[in-house]
Structure 1
Amino acid sequence: MIIFPDHDIAAETNRYASEKQTEKPDGNWRPTNAREIRAFLGFQVVMGIVSAPTQDMYWTRDSLFRPTTISERITRQRFEDLARYFHVCDNSTNPPRGQEGHDKLSHVRSVMTKITTNLRDGYKPHRDVSIDEAMIGYTGRLAFKQYVPMKPTKRGIKVWMRADPNNGYVNEFQVYTGRRGPDPEHGLGERVVWDLTRHIAGQNHHVLCDNYFTSVNLFERLLAKNTYACGTVRVNRKGLPKEVTTAKLKIQGDMVQRQKGNLVATAWRDKRTVDVLGTNSDPQTTTTVTRKQKSGQLKDVRVSGRHKKLHGKHEWRRSR
């Protein structure tokens, strides 16, 4: 699958290299072409799969410690020259930082756009789709680098993703570049889910997400587009019924539910109380999950809700 044309990258790399030559001449540089760029990208893939402690080891003369045959295809000097001037777009078209229209991802925007288009068009997801965040580890200098202490990868680039939970295929993603403007962005989670599900609206998919994204307003908006949803929810979200948010449940399997149309809010006691919001479950049906007790015995715990379209009044009411 061709993601982007190599000749465009070769032309942009040559343009950028020529621009830099006017500032500081480089006697080692010579123009590249599409074939060499394609090979350079292939080398990057190989180096990502067959890793070495240092980049120099790919060109060591000792075959015992040389992990690949890249050195037989390209010299180290040429590889470093291509890496130094590798470019995919013209940065001069990007407004300066702080001005309207400035794109923090302008260096890679054209490639990212083509990759996301191919990811989205090249695979049709199952009924269930997941929305979540991921971290790409990075410790260098970057204006939108994030620090998330509770994540395994604490520092890096945060990426919002829509993936197929059946196989992990990523259909769409967004790189988070920080807040838009001087003030914190309100409703960020809702905006992310809305953006990432825009291309699957009206196809009766079931969106699964965690409590960072879940809200009554978002699920109602998705439902209006024939997109169902389910996710854990924070009890301080607007629009939730007090009977659910203030429920004091002590016995495993106990629950409190309220329904408004197709929207069902549930407080369910597992090892602790879990609050869930959904538009894809029928509170009139139940299933069970197996939980291990302190005594070591296994116990079937009641769980409400199977996937089924509902019809109810437009106010919170008892589900059963």
Structure 2
Amino acid sequence: MKKFIGLILLMGLIKKARWRQYWSKDPLLSTPAFPAILDRNRYEMIMKFLHFSDNSMEPPTDSPMRDRIFKIRPLVNHFTETFNRAYTPLQNICIDESLLLYKGRIIFKQYIPLKRARFGIKLFCLTDSSGYLHSFKVYSDKDDPISNLNNEVPPECADMTVTAKTTMTLMKNFQNKGYHLFIDNWYSSVPLLEFLHKQKTLCTARSNQVS
């Protein structure tokens, strides 16, 4: 499994149009490091049966505990916890959305024409001025019970907008610590700015409007 993880990380650095090209013997496409790390058939077999959750524990679709990303929830939680432990963000932090390219069929796939990927899975990301991704939240549609933000924010934030609540969930570990948050006007609102001010958190909101 260590070889497989190492291979995935290397794929993130070396981009190719199709995964089979990583094992190509064509002189124009050949990258000897990949077959040296893991055999192509072994990689294909692992990808075919890769699984992160126990299907017997998945709640039914009509359950209030339904989670649309149940099958990868352990992986999402692991990455979030690891990112949090590995690095303490600098003072200036930012929250914005990112689009993870995905061309398959999924009910919460988003279309954002201004993003490079355009079609994919939307992530709400918290980064610092170095570009380090500290926390992220997968948007799995507003109708997904597990994404009910009211359960994750303080009671005084219950009447805020959905985007403000999303900001609060990502900021829960950064209040009263002197951080400076940068957001655009899609996230900002007067109640949110007032709440952050009470939590000793500076906030700069950028307007997207062009006059």
Residue type of the alignment partner of 1:214:
S
The CA deviation at 1:146 is: 0.4
Instruction: Determine the structure 1 residue equivalent to 2:44.
Output: 80
Conservation of the 8 A alpha-carbon contact between 2:24 and 2:31: no
Instruction: Kindly report which structure 2 residues correspond to 1:176-191, keeping only aligned pairs within 5 A, or say none.
Output: 176-180=139-143, 187-191=161-165
Q: Distance in 2 between matches of 1:120 and 1:180?
A: 28
1:32-43 to 2 correspondences below 5 Å: 37-43=1-7
Helix, strand or coil at the partner of 2:70: coil
What is the 5 A alignment of 1:1-320? 37-62=1-26, 65-164=29-128, 166-180=129-143, 187-232=161-206, 272=211
String of CA shifts for 1:53-72, please: whole Å, max 9, x gaps. 33223333455632133223
Distance 1:190 1:51 in 2: 36
- Aligned position for 1:244: none
Whole-angstrom CA distance in 1 between matches of 2:144 and 2:71: 21
User: Secondary structure of the residue that 2:7 maps to in structure 1?
Assistant: helix
Larger helix fraction of residues: 2
Normalising by structure 2, we get a TM-score of: 0.83
Structure (1 or 2) with the greater strand fraction: 1
2:152 paired residue number: none
Residue 118 of structure 1 and its aligned partner are, at CA, apart by: 1.9
CA positional deviation for 1:98: 3.1
**Shift in CA distance, 97/149, structure 1 to aligned 2, threshold 3 Å:** same
Q: Is the 8 A contact 2:180 2:203 kept in 1?
A: yes
Q: How many residues align?
A: 198
CA contact (8 A) 1:50 1:67 kept: no
Contiguous gaps of at least 5 residues in structure 2? 150-159
Take 1:86 and 1:178, find their aligned partners in 2: how far apart are those partners? Answer: 25
Structure 1 distance, partners of 2:52, 2:163, is 31
Distance 1:152 1:75 in 2: 32
Please state how far the C-alpha of 1:207 moved relative to its aligned partner.
1.2
Residue 181 of structure 1, CA deviation? 5.5
Instruction: Please tell me whether the aligned partners of residues 111 and 120 of structure 2 are also in contact (alpha carbons under 8 angstroms).
Output: yes
Separation (CA, whole Å) in 2 of partners of 1:233 and 1:56: 44
User: Which consecutive unaligned segments of at least 5 residues does structure 1 have?
Assistant: 1-36, 236-270, 273-320
- Greater C-alpha Rg: 1
Higher relative contact order (CA 8 A, sep 6+): 2
Q: For residues 74-106 of structure 1, give each alpha carbon's deviation from its aligned partner in whole angstroms, at most 9, with x where no partner exists.
A: 332222111100112212211122322111111
- With over 3 angstroms needed to count, the CA separation of the structure-2 counterparts of 1:73 and 1:119, relative to structure 1, is closer
TM-score normalized by the length of structure 1: 0.57
CA distance in 1, matches of 2:167, 2:17: 39
RMSD (Å) for aligned C-alpha atoms: 2.4
Q: Letter of the 1:189 partner, please give it.
A: T
